[in-house]
Structure 1
Amino acid sequence: MSWPTYALDELGVVSRGRSRHRPRDAQHLYGGPFPFVQTGDVKAAPLYLTSYSQTYSEAGLAQSKLWPAGTLCITIAANIAETCILGIDACFPDSIIGFVADPGKADTTFIKYQFDAVMREKMKRVSQGVAQDNLSQEKLLSFRFPVPDLLTQQRIAGILSAYDDLIENNRRRIGLLEQAARLLSREWFVHLRFPGHETAKIVDGLPEGWERMPASEAMHINPRTTWKASESKLITMVPMGALSTSGMNCDPSLFERREQPAGVKFMNGDTLFARITPCLENGKTSYVNFLQEGEVACGSTEFVVFRERRISRFMAYLLAREEGFRKNAISSMVGSSGRQRVQPSCFDKYLVPVPPKPVVEDFDRVVEPMFREIEHIDKSIGKLTRARDLLLPRLMDGRIPV
């Protein structure tokens, strides 16, 4: 089946993002109420973007523009042809192009899926640069999009977005479960309101039987882990990009398989903690739950690995998400601008309240079902994603009629 082709500006209004003020990092431009979306936000977004890492002030808005919800964002620098649809009104810089569909000609969601299925790889091939990949608006408008009639566009978009809606609902469930686990950890081990705290005797600021010790004694830091080549011909390698900035799960689509290990080695139950700027400040931390029993994997040299010792594996991950723990690590960073790293000694200085073993076991009994449910939901997301990605090219080139 052959569909007629159109340039993007024949299907709606195309305009480049705006950030006219120089220098761009002038402090007075930021910190206000207006969402300022950047290329990394677009790449990380699901179908609809509602989360962002920066905001503009009134001064920032004055030298930019507020695009309406429903605008398709297309990145043209660094991350080429990554797309999402604004779920909110937002500003964005000139490294992003906005597309507002003509409602009589095009469905925005369909056009977004055309980028995912066909156009992104084509655009990446013509945008490779020496220092940084770049796609000009002129190049973008030179591409022709195969587009069926509007009703067919809407039907295809409806089928694919149903998968994305399920995926996003599952992500929200994971977020709620992880938030509950973090709040529970804070309640027990920061505020010391664990079951039975009302009758506990306090000795030197802690319940009787508890100890205050360095994080480096409460858990193993970068423990020695051996990978035996005889047991497996290939080892899973986890890059920094696979770690989430907000939750415990990794993105397995970014994993690699290698003949030899590189960087740190780890197993299920370990926590991966970014030690380099800006990854740590951005929140990159993950709980390892994706390996087979007894399997050893490797990862970036910029990971610190935490393993249970006096505190459990669940407590170690939740500790790594605590604001105070992260601030302590960030404050220890040294090195040249943009390449600063956490100093291992910071874990010797950060004191952790460690409860007796029965309290640790009680806590694990409460949170382990949450961690297992998160793992189960994440696997469901993987199945939905694979099903959507299988349908995507077949729907977008007409092989599957609708």
Structure 2
Amino acid sequence: MSWIQISIGDIGKVITGNTPPKSNPEFYGNDYKFIKPTDMEIGQRYTPITEDYYSELAYKKYINSLIPPLSTCVVTIGSIGKKITLTNDFSFINQAVNAVIPDEKKYDPFFVFYALKNILHKVKSADTGASSGRENVSKSNFMTLKLEVPIDIETQKKIGSVLSSFDDLIENNLKRIKLLEETAQNIYKEWFVNFRFANYEHTAFDVESGLPVGWSVDIIGNQLLTIKRNGKLKTDDYELEGKFPIIDQANGFIAGYTNNEEVVQDLHLPIVVFGDHTRRVKFVNFPFVSGADGTQLMFPKNENLLPAYFYLSINNIDLSNYAYARHYKFMKEQPIIIPDEKTLDEFNKKAYPLLEQTIHLLNYNQKLKEARDILLPRLMNRTIDV
């Protein structure tokens, strides 16, 4: 099998994105994904959901920057050398991202994604710097980065297929996780929004509060030992292996490790984490020492509120007011229903097994990612043949 060295620019068309001005809200809507670095998750092939979307008006204005499906998008401004995604539908990107649209007569799109993922660390070496001090790789420098590819496209497809098999399993598990979480959330809404909990037909309701007798409403802040933002560690401080796990605010799993005992506090277990940047809430049931930058850690006073009830209550809060939601005050002031202990116990027994399955699937996904990332360089440097 013959391989050749090429530049990224040889693969096909390279497009740098842009951001429509927020002063023109008509450019934003629900029609086309607008992928930014903050939307991408490390280790995940696609970006299924984005914070913002283009409108049809923006589509017409920026149509020359439209990115087709199966294009590889690489972050080149800011936190470079870490984030990469493959488009699964027609999308737009912002100016911190370069998209590689492969010539599919010569290059298999899945192979291109994994080949670029394999040289992602090289992107940092092409940093041209910027007046603001942020890491910045120009489009021209990005296009000159070298990689090796098989001449035979069928070989490319075989390699892409082997690596895709791992990501296919990961994505199927993510769909299962979403269904399990939706099921748990629907049970929560049925019990504590619609008040159709176990034996509700035989429960007396207080006329003034509208709640079952023995229940109350409080604000989250009163039910917490503490809520704090843990941001001592930046992404550049993470290690692939180490003594102490760091939680990822995006998916509730391990983002990396640290051996720096100076940042280590008590091992947190269990806990609910809320990501400042991602606006996502995750329940964590394994020990960790620190949250990724921008992670809020929430410690309930009443352990009976965990494992399922407190997480699902917070997950039911509308976090669309992002600017305000970044502040602790927002979360502390949100109301939370406090059921009686018997109802709480019955609910946790019903809902927690669903969340427990999601945790098992997250663990399995982590193992799949590790196996894929071990195999990737070996296929690309031909240590293993296909």
Tell me the TM-score normalized by structure 1.
0.81
Counterpart residue number, 1:317: 311
> 2:234 matched to which residue of 1?
none
Q: 1:153 aligns with which of 156, 161, 179?
A: 156
Distance change in 2, residues 1:172/1:308 (3 Å): farther
Residue 133 to residue 42, structure 1, CA distance change in 2 (3 Å): same
CA 1:80–1:235: 2 relative to 1, 3 Å: closer
Q: Which runs of 5+ in 1 are unaligned?
A: 224-233, 334-339
Q: Is residue 245–residue 255 contact of structure 2 (8 Å, CA) maintained in 1?
A: no
**What does residue 355 of structure 2 align with?**
371
- Which secondary structure does the structure 2 equivalent of 1:202 belong to? coil
Deviation at 1:125, TM superposition (A): 1.8
Q: 1:207 aligns with which of 207, 212, 216?
A: 212
Contact persistence 1:4–1:146 (CA under 8 A): yes
Q: In structure 2, how many angstroms separate the alpha carbons of the residues matched to 1:353 and 1:10?
A: 59
1:238 to 239, 246, 249: 246
Find the residue that maps to 2:218 and give its secondary structure.
Answer: strand
Shift of 1:155: 0.6
Counterparts of residues 3-402 of structure 1 (less than 5 Å): 3-19=3-19, 23=21, 25-43=23-41, 46-65=44-63, 66-80=66-80, 82-117=83-118, 119-127=119-127, 129=129, 131-148=133-150, 149-203=152-206, 204=208, 205-222=210-227, 236=244, 238=246, 242-244=248-250, 249-250=252-253, 252-261=254-263, 265=266, 267-274=268-275, 278-279=276-277, 282-291=278-287, 297-299=289-291, 303-307=296-300, 309=302, 311-324=305-318, 326=319, 331=324, 341-343=327-329, 347=332, 349-402=333-386
One-letter amino acid of the counterpart of residue 220, structure 1: L
Q: Deviations over 1:63-109 (max 9, x none)?
A: 31222222222222224353222111112233322322222211111
TM-score with structure 2 length normalisation? 0.84
Alpha-carbon separation, structure 2, partners of 1:95 and 1:55: 16
1:228 maps to which residue?
none
Distance 1:186 1:218, change over 3 A: farther
The change in CA–CA distance for 1:214 and 1:52 in structure 2 (over 3 A counts) is closer
Q: Distance in 1 between matches of 2:225 and 2:321?
A: 17
Q: CA deviation at 1:164?
A: 0.6
**CA distance, structure 2, for counterparts of residue 313 and residue 60 of structure 1:** 44
More deviation, 390-399/47-56: 47-56
Q: Secondary structure at the match of 1:6?
A: strand
- Displacement after TM superposition at 1:167 (Å): 0.8
Q: What is the rounded CA distance, in whole Å, between the counterparts of 2:99 and 2:178 in structure 1?
A: 29
TM-aligned CA deviation for residue 265 of structure 1 = 4.5
Q: Check the 8 A contact 1:110/1:156 in 2, yes or no.
A: yes
Q: Which amino acid in structure 2 is aligned with residue 68 of structure 1?
A: P
With over 3 angstroms needed to count, the CA separation of the structure-2 counterparts of 1:265 and 1:191, relative to structure 1, is farther
2:232 corresponds to which residue?
Answer: none
- Residue pair 2:224, 2:298 contacting (<8 A) in 1 also: no
SS in 2 for 1:306: strand
Kindly state the Cα deviation for residue 287 of structure 1 after the two structures are TM-superposed: 1.7
Residue-pair matches, total: 363
Q: Is the 8 A contact 1:69 1:86 kept in 2?
A: yes
Cα distance, 1:139 vs. partner? 0.7
Instruction: Give the whole-Å Cα distance in 2 for the aligned partners of 1:393 and 1:329.
Output: 39
RMSD: 2.9
| 8 Å contact kept, 2:227–2:328 | no
User: Structure 2 regions of 5+ residues with no counterpart?
Assistant: 229-241
Residue range with higher mean Cα deviation, 376-385 or 5-14 = 5-14
> How big is each residue's C-alpha offset from its partner over 1:357-394, in whole Å with a ceiling of 9 and x where there is no partner?
11111111111211221121111111111111111100
Q: 1:235 to 1:151 in 2, by over 3 A?
A: closer
How far has the Cα of 1:322 moved from its partner? 1.6
Matched-pair contact (CA < 8 Å) for 1:64–1:92: no
The answer as to whether partners of 2:223 and 2:300 remain within 8 angstroms in 1 is: no
Deviations 1:248-298 (A, max 9, x none): x22x14232321345x75522221234xxx52xx3143322122xxxx734
Residue 354 of structure 1 and its aligned partner are, at CA, apart by 1.7
Distance in 2 of aligned mates of 1:142 and 1:57: 33
Alpha-carbon contact 2:274-2:280 (below 8 Å) kept: yes
CA shift in 2, pair 1:351/1:14, >3 Å = closer
Do the aligned residues in 2 keep the contact of 1:45 with 1:51 (CA within 8 Å)? no
Change (3 A) 1:217 1:313: farther
